[in-house]
Amino acid sequence: MIQWKLVLDFSSSSPDPAVFPYLDFQHCINQAIDIYKNDLFIYGTPRGLPSLIDVVQKQLTNYQVFAKKHSIFITSGIQQALSILAVIPFPNNRKTILIEQPGYHLFIESLEALQVPVLGIKRTSKGIDLAELERIFKEEEIKFFYTMPRYHNPLGTSYTQEEKKKILELAQRYHVFIVEDDYLADFEQNSKADPIYSYDDFTHVIYLKS
């Protein structure tokens, strides 16, 4: 059984002063430098700072994401995580990436730069055509489907739990992997709105969280 991973990033391309408490961040950074000193400026482990992974593992449970420490990787940003996933081989030995349209424009530009084959599926305020998704999964050589199920950028809409479960079901049936970008999970008001990852058996979903 393939054990899939989670990738976390702690960056923001356009931070909003009303959302991000800069003074608190500055205080924490200063405290960290005083306490950890040289440890902050040397090479760490390939997966990220172990003490941070410990904290992240506990925090992820708030989103119904339960993962072993060895399955958690920290990157410098979602873009870095996506670039890595776009070029590394997957168990299904496919290369084409399926994206929602409209979608995250920086990832689209990255795929063009990396010359990675890509297909699109239309997403509207009503979601995506699940029949069309199944056709693409069945007929095309899809490596993974990159999706923002919650608070999609730029539409701002979310999939229902039924849609999430159906997307996962199709992915499992046709051996397509899902890269789930859940960057705005912290703004969720519905405590029952779980990510796709929570329904998986650790074989088909890679969960990304900023």
Start-to-end CA distance of the chain, whole Å, equals 27
Parallel/antiparallel/unpaired status of strands 205-209 and 177-181:
parallel
Kindly tell me if the per-residue pLDDT of 49 is higher than 90.
Answer: no
Mean pLDDT across the stretch 197-208?
A: 95
Mean pLDDT across the stretch 151-177?
A: 96
pLDDT of residue 22: 84
Let me know: does 73 contact 112? Beta carbons within 8 Å: no
Name every residue whose Cβ is closer than 8 Å to that of residue 8 and which is 6 or more positions away in sequence: 48, 56, 72, 73, 74, 75, 208, 209, 210
For every residue of 172-190, which 3-state class applies, written as one string?
Answer: HHCCCEEEEECCCHHHCCC
* More confidently predicted of 77 and 98: 98
* More confidently predicted of 169 and 36: 169
Kindly tell me if the per-residue pLDDT of 16 is higher than 80.
Answer: no
pLDDT tier at 32, thresholds 50, 70, 90:
confident
Kindly tell me if the per-residue pLDDT of 7 is higher than 80.
Answer: no
Q: Which of 4-8, 49-53, 102-106 has the lowest mean pLDDT?
A: 4-8
Q: What is the dihedral of CA 163, 152, 65, 81, to 10 degrees?
A: 120
Average pLDDT, the chain: 90
pLDDT tier at 105, thresholds 50, 70, 90:
confident
Q: pLDDT above 70 covers what percent of the chain?
A: 91
Let me know: does 206 contact 6? Beta carbons within 8 Å: yes
Q: Which of 6-20, 92-106, 177-191 has the lowest mean pLDDT?
A: 6-20
pLDDT of residue 69: 92
Distance between CA atoms of 150 and 194, rounded to whole angstroms? Answer: 9
Q: Which of 36-40, 81-85, 113-117 has the lowest mean pLDDT?
A: 36-40
Mean pLDDT across the stretch 145-158?
A: 96
**CB-hemisphere CA count at 13 Å for 21?**
6
* More confidently predicted of 178 and 3: 178
pTM for this predicted structure: 0.83
Distance between CA atoms of 206 and 71, rounded to whole angstroms? Answer: 10
pLDDT of residue 54: 94
